[in-house]
């Protein structure tokens, strides 16, 4: 325990490498969201920052003004000076931002209302319904991609023959942009969810194989050599050395790749029948309800970041041998028994 008399040393903010103390870390975490939010709030609420338009409050005698209309500052002044010259009543207004930049509170309200008020048309779906639909698309696309991509990536990384056979083609294919396959996917798979899942699959699969193969290739060769001198045969080397040596890093790779899947989601949802969060965003933009648009974009961020935090939390408990490990979900004996059972199945 540190002596209570010695002052607790705070780490310098300019230090290179290593990590900061808990308090600085927490403060910086808050700031990392706080600073962009503050900028947004300043642009929205401080009237002399930006605000290129004027929102009409009282149209006065200007015939083409209506309350709530946003007009250019020049236009507003010209109309008013015309009216004043004619001895008519001028309009009044307040500085405003364009409609596509709603203020933070408007977006917050929109986010809440989207869960409380029904959509304006009967066939339209709630924000959370569209979101849930998108999450399902992501899940199936990523799940199917991983089902093939992870084992193939591991084999590629471990067995040179598999690398030579598959990587040249995969390297070629990953340069073909996934969206380019949209029309093809619709022609083959119809117009519903199948082509969307296919786009996510194409977008992540090839990257996945290459990234995971690379991770597996980084396994310390001396671990494999040590196992060989202990009598391990190729199949045992794969299952009992290469796989466990890389599994924790593969898990981290998967978290990064899931981020890629979200990027392809937006493209995927534009093809075939419109659905999902992208459809919601496009529809709200047509209604010029940019607060709803921002709310939907924000929701994607929250779901994405939230998911990643959950996976990171799980990751710290899945691999008890890592230095940053937290107490696992299972007692070790149980995990070991599971691993042994898996080995028997594969042996």
CB 264 within 8 A of CB 200: yes
Q: How far is the CB of 327 from other proteins (least distance, A)?
A: 13
State the minimum distance, in angstroms, from the CB of residue 220 to other proteins. Answer: 8
Which of 92, 163, 214, 228 is in the footprint of other proteins by CB under 8 A? Answer: 228
> Which of helix, strand or coil describes residue 54?
strand
At its nearest, how many Å lie between other proteins and the CB of residue 297? 40
If one asks whether residue 4 binds other proteins (CB under 8 A), the answer comes out as no
Applying CB under 8 A, among 108, 189, 227, 300 the residue interacting with other proteins is: 227
For other proteins, the binding residues in 303-342 under the rule CB under 8 A are 319-321, 323, 332, 336, 340
- Does 223 help bind other proteins (rule: CB under 8 A)? yes
CA-atom Rg of the chain in angstroms: 28
Binding to other proteins in span 235-264, by CB under 8 A? 236, 240-241, 244-245, 247-248
Could you give the string, one character per residue 182-221, with x where binding to other proteins holds by CB under 8 A and - elsewhere? --------------------------------------x-
Residue from 66, 161, 222, 327 touching other proteins (CB under 8 A): that is 222
> Helical H runs in the chain?
22-45, 73-85, 104-116, 127-158, 160-173, 182-189, 193-217, 221-229, 234-237, 243-268, 276-286, 290-318, 332-346
How is 261-317 classified by DSSP, letter by letter?
HHHHHHHHTTSSS--HHHHHHHHHHHTT-HHHHHHHHHHHHHHHHHHHHHHHHHHHH
Burial class of residue 130 in the structure, from the number of CB atoms within 10 Å of its CB (0-12 exposed, 13-18 middle, 19+ buried)? buried
Produce one character per residue of 222-258: b if its CB has 16 or more CB atoms within 10 Å, e if not.
eebeebeeeebeeebbbbebbbebbebbbbebbeebb
What CA–CA distance (Å, rounded) separates 328 from 318? 6
Among 147, 226, 302, 309, binds other proteins (CB under 8 A): 226
Among 41, 101, 232, 300, binds other proteins (CB under 8 A): 232
Closer residue to other proteins (CB): 95 or 320: 320
Nearer to other proteins, 41 or 237 (CB): 237
Q: By rule CB under 8 A, what count of residues binds other proteins? A: 26
Binding site for other proteins (CB under 8 A): 220, 222-223, 225-233, 236, 240-241, 244-245, 247-248, 319-321, 323, 332, 336, 340
């Amino acid at each position: 325990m540190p002596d209570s008399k010695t002052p607790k040393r705070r780490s310098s903010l300019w230090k290179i490498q290593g990590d900061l103390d808990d308090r600085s870390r927490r403060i910086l975490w808050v700031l990392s969201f706080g600073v962009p939010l503050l900028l947004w709030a300043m642009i929205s609420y401080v009237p002399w920052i930006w605000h290129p338009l004027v929102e009409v409050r009282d149209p006065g005698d200007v015939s083409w003004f209506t309350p709530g209309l946003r007009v250019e500052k020049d236009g507003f002044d010209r109309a008013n000076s015309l009216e004043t010259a004619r001895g008519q009543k001028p309009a009044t207004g307040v500085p405003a931002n364009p409609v596509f930049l709603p203020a933070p509170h408007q977006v917050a309200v929109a986010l809440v209302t989207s869960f409380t008020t029904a959509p304006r048309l009967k066939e339209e779906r709630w924000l959370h319904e569209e979101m849930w639909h998108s999450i399902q698309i992501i899940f199936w696309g990523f799940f199917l991609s991983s089902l093939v991509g992870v084992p193939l990536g591991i084999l590629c990384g471990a067995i040179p023959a598999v690398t030579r056979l598959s990587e040249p083609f995969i390297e070629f294919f990953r340069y073909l942009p996934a969206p380019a396959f949209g029309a093809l996917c619709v022609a083959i798979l119809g117009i519903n969810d199948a082509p969307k899942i296919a786009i996510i699959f194409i977008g992540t699969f090839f990257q996945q194989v290459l990234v995971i193969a690379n991770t597996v290739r980084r396994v310390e060769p001396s671990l494999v050599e040590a196992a060989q001198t202990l009598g391990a045969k190729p199949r045992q080397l794969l299952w009992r050395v290469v796989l466990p040596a890389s599994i924790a890093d593969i898990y981290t790779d998967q978290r990064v790749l899931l981020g890629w899947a979200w990027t392809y989601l937006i493209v995927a949802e534009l093809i075939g029948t419109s659905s999902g969060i992208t459809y919601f965003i496009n529809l709200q933009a047509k209604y010029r309800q940019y607060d709803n648009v921002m709310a939907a974009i924000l929701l994607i961020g929250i779901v994405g970041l939230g998911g990643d935090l959950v996976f990171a939390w799980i990751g710290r408990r899945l691999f008890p041998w890592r230095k940053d490990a937290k107490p696992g979900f299972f007692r070790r004996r149980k995990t070991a028994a599971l691993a042994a059972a898996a080995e028997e199945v594969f042996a």
